[in-house]
């Protein structure tokens, strides 16, 4: 358990569920990377519709079984820690959007 | 494909799945608008519970078939581009919350 | 209905679906608290995978029935209002991450 309280960064990666890297699902590989690199935490959210750089509309509903819904991965850590991991992330992500935003961490710890 | 790297804006629209505009689902109409206006990308997330301006608690679970779960639409682009589209969005959204926040875009492009 | 337009704060609480407080689901208790305290709005999102302070990988898929997927609660209000509620939230959240970020609220109102 590390201390993380104070001004940190939230990285957000917007990709598609069908994206692959080395024939494996990209979002799983990114999650494995973030854990291996000991990023403080990460959450993978699946969208029900959306579009991205290629302006292709992903949608659930009739296409609910589609494997190309949008995926949003959120991870919070220090700028320095994220900077060390970002080149590896960038090398894995093909089409996609990666954003960084400032957040203030109030709590990152288990209860005593 | 446009360049988008640098300081941009993430717009977030909090509405309900059951919201309509011209008898059509509001979140779909908003997504169509954002795509038509060539916003760089958009993701629609469905919440499992929540409440909003009317303080009505939406919840999944026993009411999993409810069509009134919270919807969050996220879109990233330049301030100028979002400013051009915002009056149209505002005219479509009845009850709802719209926020803007600064983000730093690291990557928005397909792999070369 | 309160006015909320202008510079406000988005609080984000990252917990797990299986977290309990007084043997009740933590995310439901937090949502009830936020509503009782008249926070302007809140949305509960369920992730499909993730890890946190304990670096335990939560994942859907084969474990889709797991009750330990990541939960992200987002709530927007004034800094002052959130400050009043945060000690109560902090007392309820065991392991978890709580962040605050600045947002600009463009709209929080039903259509006239």
For A64, residues 6+ apart whose C-beta sits below 8 A from its C-beta are none
Which of C28, C106, C108 shows the shortest C-beta gap to B86?
Answer: C106
The answer to whether A69 touches A60, Cβ cutoff 8 Å, is yes
Residue C40 has pLDDT above 70, yes or no: yes
By CA distance, what is C34's nearest residue in B?
A: B51
In a domain, C112, yes or no: no
Residue C38: give its domain's CATH number. Answer: 3.30.70.120
Q: Do A110 and C57 touch (CB under 8 A)?
A: no
Whole-angstrom Cα distance, residue C58 to residue C68?
6
In a domain, B11, yes or no: yes
Check residue B112 and give its pLDDT. 45
In a domain, B112, yes or no: no
Of A9-13, B67-71, C39-43, C63-67, the one with minimum mean pLDDT is: C63-67
Distances (CA, A) of B94 to A110, B16, B21, B26, C68: 40, 10, 9, 9, 35
Residue B36 has pLDDT above 90, yes or no: yes
Indicate the number of domains in chain B: 1
Whole-angstrom Cα distance, residue A48 to residue A40?
27
Q: Which of B106, B109, B112 to mutate to test the interface with A (most CBs of A within 10 A)?
A: B106
What pTM did the predictor assign? 0.92
In a domain, B111, yes or no: no
Whole-angstrom Cα distance, residue C49 to residue A42?
8
Tokens encoding C106:
């463009």
Tokens encoding A103:
């957040």
In a domain, B99, yes or no: yes
- Summarize pLDDT for A14-62 with one digit per residue, the tens: 999 999 999 999 999 999 999 999 999 999 999 999 988 665 566 655 4
Mean pLDDT of C3-27: 94
In a domain, A66, yes or no: yes
For the CA atoms of B76, B79, B85, B89, the dihedral, rounded to the nearest 10 degrees, stands at 70
C3: contact with B, CB 8 A cutoff: no
In a domain, B69, yes or no: yes
């Amino acid at each position: 358990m590390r201390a993380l309280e104070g001004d940190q960064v939230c990285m957000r990666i917007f990709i598609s569920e069908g994206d692959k890297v080395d024939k494996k699902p990209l979002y799983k590989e990114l999650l494995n990377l973030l854990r291996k690199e000991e990023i403080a935490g990460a959450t993978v959210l699946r969208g029900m519709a959306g579009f991205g750089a290629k302006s292709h509309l992903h949608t659930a509903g009739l296409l609910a079984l589609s494997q190309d819904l949008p995926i949003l991965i959120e991870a919070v850590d220090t700028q320095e820690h994220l900077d060390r991991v970002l080149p590896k992330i960038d090398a894995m992500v093909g089409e996609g959007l990666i954003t960084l935003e400032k957040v203030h961490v109030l709590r990152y710890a288990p209860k005593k």
